[in-house]
């Protein structure tokens, strides 16, 4: 008796998991509330991330400590360390460091949709909370109060541009020169 009950439970689990995981279809939308209540805390899983479209433009922030220097990428040393030693899982750390960068890029894109005046956009971005953290981060690295930085994209080239030797290029969308950093007390 208990064995049969367990078997039925297994079949129910199979049904709900299939409903929860497969791409949207009429069946899953019919039972969506039930499946969510069954799956959410314990059996929650998301395998869509293995098949989504790849991001070809990775947002990043480039900075200069003085105007004559080359561009440096924020978090580049973690990325290099990650690429040297794969087993330490530093890629996750890089992902975390990029958190503020991604947020500011989202903010920048949404600002560009609604705001027409470029100087207003620059002001609003420099006053954003995530951007302020980035600024203090860079000023700590450079040990300076005035820095130059730029919103950048690491663009992955298409196959049609295959003659060039480098697979990536740095595109700087917006430049901020000599930004003064006001430390909060």
By CB under 8 A, name the binding residues for another protein: 2-4, 6-7, 10, 13-14, 17-18, 21-23, 42-54, 56, 58, 78-79, 82-83, 86-97, 99-100, 133-134, 136-137, 140-141, 154, 156, 159, 162, 165-168
Q: Please state the closest distance from residue 40 (CB atom) to another protein, in A.
A: 13
Pairing of strands 57-64, 168-180: unpaired
Q: How many CB atoms lie under 10 A from the CB of residue 98?
A: 19
Crossing angle of helices 129-142 and 99-114, rounded to 10°: 130
Q: How many CB atoms lie under 10 A from the CB of residue 128?
A: 16
Q: 7 or 112, CB closer to another protein?
A: 7
- Residues with Cβ within 8 Å of 114's Cβ and at least 6 positions away in sequence, in order, are none
Q: Please state the closest distance from residue 46 (CB atom) to another protein, in A.
A: 7
Q: 68 or 163, CB closer to another protein?
A: 163
Q: 50 or 114, CB closer to another protein?
A: 50
Q: 26 or 89, CB closer to another protein?
A: 89
Q: Please state the closest distance from residue 122 (CB atom) to another protein, in A.
A: 22
Choose among 178, 101, 93, 86: nearest CA to 137: 101
Q: Please state the closest distance from residue 99 (CB atom) to another protein, in A.
A: 5
Q: 18 or 173, CB closer to another protein?
A: 18
Q: Please state the closest distance from residue 8 (CB atom) to another protein, in A.
A: 10
Q: What are phi and psi of 61, to 5 degrees?
A: -120, 130
Positive or negative torsion for Cα 101, 107, 110, 115: negative
């Amino acid at each position: 008796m208990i064995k049969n009950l367990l078997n039925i439970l297994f079949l129910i689990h199979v049904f709900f998991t299939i409903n929860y995981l497969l791409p949207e279809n009429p069946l899953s939308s019919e039972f969506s509330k039930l499946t969510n209540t069954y799956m959410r805390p314990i059996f929650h899983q998301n395998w869509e991330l293995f098949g989504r479209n790849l991001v070809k433009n990775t947002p990043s922030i480039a900075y200069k400590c003085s105007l004559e220097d080359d561009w440096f990428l924020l978090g580049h040393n973690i990325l290099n360390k990650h690429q040297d030693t794969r087993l330490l899982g530093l890629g996750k750390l890089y992902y975390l460091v990029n958190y503020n960068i991604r947020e500011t890029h989202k903010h920048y894109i949404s600002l560009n949709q609604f705001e027409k005046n470029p100087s207003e956009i620059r002001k609003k971005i420099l006053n954003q909370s995530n951007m302020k953290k980035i600024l203090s981060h860079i000023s700590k690295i450079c040990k300076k109060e005035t820095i130059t930085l730029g919103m950048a994209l690491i663009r992955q080239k298409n196959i049609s541009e295959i003659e060039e030797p480098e697979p990536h290029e740095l595109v700087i969308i917006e430049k901020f020169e000599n930004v003064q950093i006001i430390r909060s007390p």
